[in-house]
Chain A
Amino acid sequence: ELKVEQNPLFLSMQEGKNYTIYCNYSTTSDRLYWYRQDPGKSLESLFVLLSNGAVKQEGRLMASLDTKARLSTLHITAAVHDLSATYFCAVVFQYSGGGADGLTFGKGTHLIIQP
């Protein structure tokens, strides 16, 4: 069974600071996604990481993947209030039915950025 563990689950930080969210997964996978969810809303796709050493950046967010360590990180640089949200990582597992691949989500990191 694929397990995805995120930490921290809750993070309160000040604007301007840097921080990293970690995502560990238990079995081999070739794709990892990061999503953002605002309260009462659905998921917004942030990044997809496909290979070992992959790094992607968008604004103040940067995601990386180490498939050997089964670890992905989401780094926040000089945080601003607008980044307050819940962030999920999700890992692809192989669906035995032969269709598209199902996702296993981490528990999410609830991020609050205070002015």
Chain B
Amino acid sequence: GAVVSQHPSWVICKSGTSVKIECRSLDFQATTMFWYRQFPKQSLMLMATSNEGSKATYEQGVEKDKFLINHASLTLSTLTVTSAHPEDSSFYICSASRGLRQPQHFGDGTRLSIL
């Protein structure tokens, strides 16, 4: 159990486009979902944490209006990169957790390339 599906796996789009990434927990209910960003050959950096039914909490330096997060149900969270620019190109990984002190289960990641 504990499968997390992330979609799409690869996106290439023009500068100025908005891109939505979905993260679904397929076989469990995720109280909390996390969004990470990973630049090439670097570590994962937490962008934001979302709890079902409430507003996401963003890490310092992450623009709320740029990266819109919605966690409308216990099995789905979405990250929308609005008006994407080349510097937003990165590998975005979501994870889902059943709750406090529970492990995070990671999606397969989305590679975003903005031309």
Contacts and interface: CB of A to CB of B under 8 A. Distances in A.
Contacts of B106: 42-43, 45
A99 B74 CA distance: 13
A104 interface: yes
B107 to A, nearest CB: 6
Interface string B80-115: 000000000000010001111111111111010000
B49 A45 contact: no
B51 A106 contact: no
Interface in A13-71: 31, 33, 40-43, 45, 48
A90 to B, nearest CB: 8
B43 A41 contact: no
Chain A contact-residue range equals: 20 to 34
Given A41-B108, A43-B93, A88-B44, A102 B34 contact: yes
Given A42-B106, A95-B49, A100 B99 contact: yes
Interface in A86-108: 88, 90, 95, 97-108
A105 B34 CA distance: 13
A71 B34 CA distance: 25
Contacts of B68: none
A100 B32 contact: yes
B112 to A, nearest CB: 13
Given A42-B109, A102-B49, A105-B43, A97 B57 contact: yes
Given A90-B44, A105-B45, 4 more contacts: A42-B107, A43-B93, A99-B51, A100-B31
27 contacts: A31-B101, A33-B103, A42-B93, A42-B106, A42-B107, A42-B109, A43-B44, A43-B106, A45-B103, A45-B106, A90-B44, A95-B49, A97-B57, A98-B51, A98-B100, A99-B49, A99-B51, A99-B99, A100-B31, A100-B97, A100-B100, A102-B46, A102-B49, A103-B104, A105-B45, A107-B42, A107-B43
